[in-house]
């Protein structure tokens, strides 16, 4: 009996490996073989990158005189108080200050720093604190609201460490990255994560939306800071978070380095405005129904819905109903992705579109050129007592329409800026509004608007066009 049991046991042992071979092999775990493997860390990368990341402090300080002016009285009549800026009891002067806090990245040893435009927007005093605690006043070299980027310059005696640009086009979902910035003003902070997604286009924090998404913790104050790859290269500028509490939920967004580099190069060349190519076409999303009708197996590309006469789009032979699939071989899934890819092409030479027309795919060369100024802007900053007080208006042209991302054709006047806290801001006027008429008189030039706002009237009737909708409002005089 004992001999029989031993034979059964030997048989079971012999069969064991055969049965086990049907299951996957367990994961291999190995002990570290050296002290160096135990000490693997991001610390060397952080030591190299951290000196290039700075803190950016902005302030807008405005002092008011002690005696109520006629303008203060005018604003009081509109709003029942002292108007924007206000006055304390007894007519004492008040100092109004708005402050912002963010981060920035040194991109040139001469003192060029890139940050987010929203960090220094409306600020008239900007200071930069380096990693070694030195502080400097900063000059605003360039603002580019369309990308939410700005370039600053500081004059430092030396010791600046510039961060080299990485290749944001080579990033893949799952790559490790680190984020460096100054969240909540606590001081320079490093967080680590991965690339969660690429080419995010529905974030809403800039005109050119093609963001890198990361789960590296990004919080208020990180804006303008660096997203760094494992080679120590700058692959993005952290700009926004998705949050319902104001803190990090692991969904942060960064502007790709390819766009950042284009803005920085403009600043290096002495430019004050980033010039981008103009297509002169209205584009829209390809819906599932449209995709099916043109023979695409899924919605992709952008549909050409219309064109401006004598534009590069018309010259290239684009037609209404065409679907643009790629820009120089790079696929585009929606108008935001197209805008990003096209904007990086510069304003000279040409690019190539892959276009689907009917059932045929073709390649069209497209001339690269900036949008034309078909008539002088004749910039008007309204300073007279009217609902437009604090607004800046310009004559529309393709260049203006491109910059403001509006549909504005013909001889019209558009609001290009509205000062925060101004009367124009308080009555609801917005950047991009097309001024149709004032008190029933059509407005086709800024001179028309200037004449209209210089006339004292008991009430103001203002008609504007906003996103294709005509609105008329009446304000007290």
Q: What is the pLDDT of residues 354-390, one digit of tens each?
A: 999 988 999 999 999 999 888 899 999 998 889 999 9
Cross-strand partners of 136? 128
Q: What is the pLDDT of residues 287-332, one digit of tens each?
A: 999 988 888 889 999 999 988 888 999 999 999 999 999 999 999 9
| Catalytic residue (one of 144, 148, 215, 448) | 148
- Answer with the one of 214, 235, 268 that is the final residue of a domain: 268
Our answer to whether residue 118 is catalytic in this structure is yes
Q: Are residues 136 and 57 in the same domain?
A: yes
Q: Are residues 57 and 117 in the same domain?
A: yes
What's residue 76's pLDDT? Answer: 43
Q: What is the pLDDT of residues 9-65, one digit of tens each?
A: 333 333 344 444 445 566 666 777 777 776 778 888 999 999 999 999 888 766 554
- For residues 81 and 67, the model is more confident at 67
Can you tell me the mean pLDDT for 187-201? 88
Which residue reads 């995010």 in tokens? 200
Report residue 19: phi and psi, to 5°: -65, -40
What's residue 23's pLDDT? Answer: 53
Would residue 215 count as lying in a domain?
yes
Would residue 90 count as lying in a domain?
no
- 377-385's contacts with Cβ under 8 Å and 24+ in sequence apart are 377/446, 378/445, 378/446, 378/447, 379/416, 379/446, 380/446, 380/449, 380/450, 382/424, 382/449, 382/450, 382/453, 384/453, 384/454, 385/71, 385/74, 385/456
What's residue 220's pLDDT? Answer: 82
What's residue 429's pLDDT? Answer: 92
Would residue 148 count as lying in a domain?
yes
Q: Are residues 348 and 407 in the same domain?
A: no
Q: Identify the CA nearest to 194 among candidates 260, 153, 265, 250.
A: 250
| Number of helical (H) and strand (E) elements in the chain, helices listed first | 12, 25
What's residue 295's pLDDT? Answer: 86
Buried b or exposed e, range 348-359, using 16+ CB within 10 angstroms = eeebebbbbbee
Q: Are residues 150 and 54 in the same domain?
A: yes
DSSP conformational letter for 292: H
- For residues 299 and 124, the model is more confident at 299
Q: How far apart are the first and last CA of the chain?
A: 114
| Catalytic residue (one of 100, 103, 118, 168) | 118
- CATH number of the domain where residue 263 is located: 2.40.10.10
Would residue 159 count as lying in a domain?
no
Q: Are residues 326 and 404 in the same domain?
A: no
- Is the separation of the CB atoms in 223 and 207 below 8 Å? no
Q: Are residues 66 and 141 in the same domain?
A: yes
- Answer with the one of 244, 268, 292 that is the final residue of a domain: 268
Would residue 469 count as lying in a domain?
yes
What's residue 11's pLDDT? Answer: 35
Q: What is the pLDDT of residues 88-99, one digit of tens each?
A: 444 444 555 557
- Answer with the one of 367, 398, 413 that is the final residue of a domain: 367
The whole domain housing 105 covers: 50-85+96-154
Can you tell me the mean pLDDT for 178-185? 89
Q: Are residues 114 and 199 in the same domain?
A: no
Mark out the alpha helices in 276-414 (DSSP H runs). Answer: 288-294, 312-316, 335-343, 398-404
Residue 101: pLDDT band with limits 50, 70, 90: confident
- Mean of the per-residue pLDDT values for the chain? 82
Number of domains in the chain: 4
Q: What is the pLDDT of residues 201-249, one digit of tens each?
A: 766 555 667 889 998 888 888 889 999 999 999 999 998 766 555 555 6
Would residue 4 count as lying in a domain?
no
Q: What is the pLDDT of residues 277-295, one digit of tens each?
A: 999 998 999 999 998 888 8
Would residue 13 count as lying in a domain?
no
Distance CA 322, CA 405 (A): 22
Our answer to whether residue 223 is catalytic in this structure is yes
Distance CA 163, CA 149 (A): 17
| Catalytic residue (one of 223, 248, 258, 311) | 223
The lowest-confidence range among 89-93, 134-138, 361-365, 409-413 is: 89-93
SS3 107: strand
What's residue 100's pLDDT? Answer: 72
Encoded tokens for 443: 């407005």
Q: What is the pLDDT of residues 70-81, one digit of tens each?
A: 444 443 433 334
Q: Are residues 146 and 180 in the same domain?
A: no
What's residue 199's pLDDT? Answer: 80
Q: What one-character-per-residue DSSP string does 233-255 give?
A: -EEEEEEEE--SSSS--S-EEEE
Distance CA 52, CA 81 (A): 47
Q: CB within 8 A of 346, min separation 6: which ones? A: 277, 368
Q: What is the pLDDT of residues 422-471, one digit of tens each?
A: 889 988 999 999 999 999 999 999 999 999 888 888 888 999 999 888 88
Would residue 130 count as lying in a domain?
yes
What's residue 322's pLDDT? Answer: 94
Our answer to whether residue 21 is catalytic in this structure is no
């Amino acid at each position: 009996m004992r001999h029989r049991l031993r034979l059964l046991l030997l048989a079971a042992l012999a069969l064991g490996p055969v049965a086990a071979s049907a299951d996957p092999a367990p994961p291999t775990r190995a002990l570290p073989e050296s002290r160096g493997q135990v000490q693997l860390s991001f610390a060397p990368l952080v030591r190299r990158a951290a000196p290039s990341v700075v803190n950016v402090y902005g302030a807008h300080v405005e002092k008011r005189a002690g005696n109520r002016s006629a303008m203060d009285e005018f604003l009081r009549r509109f709003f029942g108080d002292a108007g924007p800026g206000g006055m304390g009891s007894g007519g004492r002067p008040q100092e109004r200050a708005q402050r912002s806090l963010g981060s920035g990245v040194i991109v040139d040893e001469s003192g060029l720093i890139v940050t987010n435009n929203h960090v220094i927007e409306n600020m008239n005093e900007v200071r930069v604190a380096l990693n070694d605690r030195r502080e400097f006043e900063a000059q605003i070299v360039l603002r580019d609201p369309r990308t939410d980027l700005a370039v600053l310059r500081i004059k430092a005696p030396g010791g600046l460490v510039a961060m080299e640009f990485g290749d944001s086009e080579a990033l893949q979902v799952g790559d490790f990255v680190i984020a460096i910035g100054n969240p909540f003003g606590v001081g320079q902070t490093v967080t680590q994560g991965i690339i969660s997604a690429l080419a995010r286009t529905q974030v809403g924090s800039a005109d050119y939306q093609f963001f890198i998404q990361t789960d590296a913790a990004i919080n208020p104050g990180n804006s303008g800071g660096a997203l760094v790859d494992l080679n120590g290269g700058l692959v993005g500028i952290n700009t926004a978070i998705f949050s319902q509490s104001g803190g990090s939920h692991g969904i942060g967004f960064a502007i790709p380095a390819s766009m950042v580099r284009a803005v920085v190069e403009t600043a290096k060349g002495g430019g004050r405005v980033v010039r981008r190519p103009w297509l002169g076409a209205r584009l829209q999303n390809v819906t599932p129904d449209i995709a099916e009708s043109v023979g695409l197996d899924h919605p992709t590309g952008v549909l050409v819905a219309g064109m401006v006469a004598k534009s590069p789009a018309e010259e290239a032979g684009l037609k209404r109903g065409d679907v643009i699939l790629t820009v120089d071989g790079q696929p585009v899934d929606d108008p935001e992705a197209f805008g990003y890819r096209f904007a990086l092409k510069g304003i000279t030479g040409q690019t190539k579109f892959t276009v689907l027309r009917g059932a045929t795919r073709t390649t069209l060369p497209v001339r690269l050129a900036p949008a034309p100024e078909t008539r002088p802007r004749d910039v008007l900053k309204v300073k007279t007592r009217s609902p437009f007080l604090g607004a800046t208006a310009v004559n529309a042209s393709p260049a203006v329409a491109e910059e403001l991302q509006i549909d504005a054709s013909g001889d019209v006047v558009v609001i290009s800026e509205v000062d925060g806290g101004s009367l124009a801001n308080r009555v609801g006027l917005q950047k991009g509004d097309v001024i149709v008429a004032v008190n029933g008189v059509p407005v086709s030039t800024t001179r028309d608007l200037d004449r209209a706002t210089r006339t004292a009237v008991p009430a103001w009737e203002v008609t504007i066009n906003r996103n294709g909708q005509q609105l008329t409002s009446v304000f007290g005089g």
